A and B are shown apart, each in its own frame.
Chain A
Amino acid sequence: MKAAFTIAGLVVLATLPWWLDNPYILHVLIVTGIFIIAAISLNLLLGYAGQLSLGHVAFFGIGAYASSLVSLGFDISLLTLKPKPVWMAMLAGIAAAGLCGWLIGRIAFKVRGAYFVIVSISFVEVVRLVAVNWVELTQGPMALNNIPPLSLLGISFLKKPSNYWLVLTVAVISYVLVKRLVQSKAGRAMVALAENEPLARSVGVDVTRTLVLATVVSAAMAGAAGALYAHYIRIVDPDVFLFIYTVTMVIMVVTGGKGTLAGPIIGGLIFGLLPEGLRAFSIKPEIQWIIYGVLMLAVVYFLPAGIVPALKRRLRWLS
């Protein structure tokens, strides 16, 4: 039954560009998909490992910047790089984000709770200020322009349908990856850690190693989302590091249900499509954000576990 739903859903999603001939809606879906990938990656850290990271957009932005820079090439005083093919650049973006995840994981997991949250915010702000001020490399607020689109095996990912399929594929891979990881021994260690750290430690869970692993995987995945974003939108500026994007990802995960596999997808669809719905009623962006803020409050008050667990409970109650 559940498998049938999954397959039907995937078929609808995969064939969508054929029967939905609307480039605008397709664009919205692509961007939503990219954010869903980022939300899936955040869910690993926030939902399963139980660490409220408010610096997640740093990895997204690092992936976007690294991938763009490798594909465009750069020339700074110590290092010159010729433009590389985009697929190579995207892998570099993923690797760069993963590496930063490792570094930050090693540093930040010395502390927990409120301290961890503040370290993660500080990290993203430092990265943002570097992106603004290191004009030689990043062009600062002038942004990196004319980022080439991906072209692989003779297919150019310039048009919207091909980008849609690309994002869908990466999203499915991310979902499966997180699912496999969470069900593995390392994943169970993460959950145990989130539930009760001293107890997990007492049964032999290597806390730092487990958390660093979660951060590296999560960061690399967010980096992949960032790389997809950069080569789709084809312009990157320091605004990708704005805190509001982290907040968007957190809202997606928390609303959908942290620590559930479907949570980030449901939450991501709602908060990815909601702004477009609100725009249709010509609502100002300020009001849109106010609605976001209030919705966030409402979810914490009325659905503290998120939509997916609430729906599951309701279904069980019906049958």
Chain B
Amino acid sequence: MDQFLQHLLNALMLGGTYALLGIGLTLIFGIMRVVNFTHGELYAFGAYMMYALVMRTGVNFFVALVLAIALGALLGAALEFVLLRRLRGADIDTTMLVMIGAWIALQNTEQLVWTGVAKSIDNPFPAAPLVIGAVSVGWNRVFVFVVALLLIGITYFLIQKTKLGKAMRATFQDRDTAALMGVQIGSIHTATFALGSALAAAAGALLGPVFVAYPSMGDMAAAKAFAIVILGGLGSIPGATLGGFILALAEELGAGYISSGYRDAMSFLLIIAILVFKPTGLFAQKERIG
């Protein structure tokens, strides 16, 4: 029982960051109809920015976190502006190929700049874990969880309460009508991609110091993000939030009770199972297969 509780706690801590990854990807797909293969690279970018700022330049950990997220947003905006702006209205396969090309170029640039050696990043938290009854959790994990929840909250606020969020939701529902109502679709796309990228970079900047940073770290992150998004239904933000926690739980239980070698297989098995039995995802309402 204690072991099960420990798995639950681990899943909860990890699920917050997974949700961040999923929300970013689902936003970009829902609003822009782009399957963003660079998502994992933004995640890796976040982790490497933490490494560069904390380990190389000695910036304070918390300041570095804010900076890494901001730089992720900037890189996302630049990618959208350079690559996707001219492809608006192109079919989904075309943009997918462009994003795959960008992903290969980005990942190998990372490898070129940072070499293949994994980088560890110091964190300022006490090494002794927080013990609650029979279960325990590292302070760095608690910090990651709290910040992830905070960022999810900010994203919800941005989308539900601000004018920009309203324009995003309008674009999501009907791009043409939104454009007719005076929404600048181009700026909305840039903002969406920047926001999605910032969330991915945040996930990387949070988890980088917990694990290590290495060039292909983005691949697994992207795969997990896809699994989460499919779980929740493409384009559904509450679905992605819940999907992040469900995937984390599936992984923890899979690694704990089946075999740790298959931890990463859980996300893919989940994708296949969902698409076979309920292709619209768990929380989708309207047309999703397209």
Contacts and interface: CB of A to CB of B under 8 A. Distances in A.
Partners in one complex: yes
Interface of A: 52, 107-108, 110-115, 117-119, 121-123, 125-126, 129-130, 132-133, 243-244, 247, 250, 254, 284, 286-287, 289-290, 292-297, 300-301, 304
Contacts of A126: 265, 268-269, 272
Contact of B262 (A52, A110, A133): A133
8 contacts: A113-B289, A118-B35, A125-B265, A126-B272, A244-B104, A286-B111, A292-B101, A297-B105
A36 B56 CA distance: 45
Contacts of A286: 108-109, 111-112
B75 to A, nearest CB: 16
A297 B83 contact: yes
A305 to B, nearest CB: 11
3 closest residue pairs by CB, A with B: A293-B105, A296-B101, A293-B104
B130 interface: no
Interface string B271-284: 11001100100000
B290 A113 contact: yes
Contacts of B219: 243
Contact of A115 (B103, B108, B259, B289): B289
A289 B112 CA distance: 11
A111 B279 contact: yes
Given A115-B230, A289-B108, A293-B108, A129 B101 contact: no
B226 interface: yes
Interface of B: 29, 35, 83, 86, 92-94, 96-98, 100-109, 111-112, 219, 223, 226-227, 230, 234, 259, 261-262, 264-265, 267-269, 271-272, 275-276, 279, 289-290
Contact of B276 (A110, A129, A130, A295): A110
B54 to A, nearest CB: 25
A178 to B, nearest CB: 20
A250 B97 CA distance: 9
Interface of B is mostly: helix
A107 B265 contact: no
Given A110-B276, A254-B97, A296-B101, A284 B112 contact: yes
Contacts of A300: 94, 97-98, 101
Given A286-B111, A289-B104, A297-B102, A115 B261 contact: no
B259 A133 contact: yes
Contacts of A293: 100-106, 108
Given A113-B290, A118-B226, A290 B109 contact: yes
Nearest to B112: A286
Given A115-B230, A304-B94, 18 more contacts: A107-B276, A113-B290, A118-B271, A123-B268, A125-B265, A126-B268, A126-B269, A129-B262, A133-B262, A247-B100, A250-B97, A250-B100, A254-B97, A286-B109, A292-B104, A293-B103, A300-B94, A301-B86
A250 B37 CA distance: 15
A119 B271 contact: yes
Nearest to A292: B104
Nearest to A297: B101
Contacts of B267: 122
Contacts of B261: 129, 132-133
A213 to B, nearest CB: 20
A243 B83 CA distance: 22
Contacts of A119: 271-272, 275
Contact of A111 (B227, B265, B268, B275): B275
A93 B228 CA distance: 34
B270 to A, nearest CB: 9
Contacts of B35: 114, 117-118
A129 B264 contact: yes
A218 B279 CA distance: 25
Contacts of A295: 101
Nearest to B105: A293
Contacts of B92: 113-114
A243 B219 CA distance: 10
B117 to A, nearest CB: 14
Contacts of B234: 114-115
Contacts of A129: 261-262, 264-265, 268
A244 B97 CA distance: 13
A125 B223 contact: yes
B247 to A, nearest CB: 13
Contacts of A304: 94
A292 to B, nearest CB: 6
A107 B109 CA distance: 37
A66 to B, nearest CB: 20
Contact of B105 (A113, A244, A290): A290
Contacts of B230: 115, 118
B112 A287 contact: yes
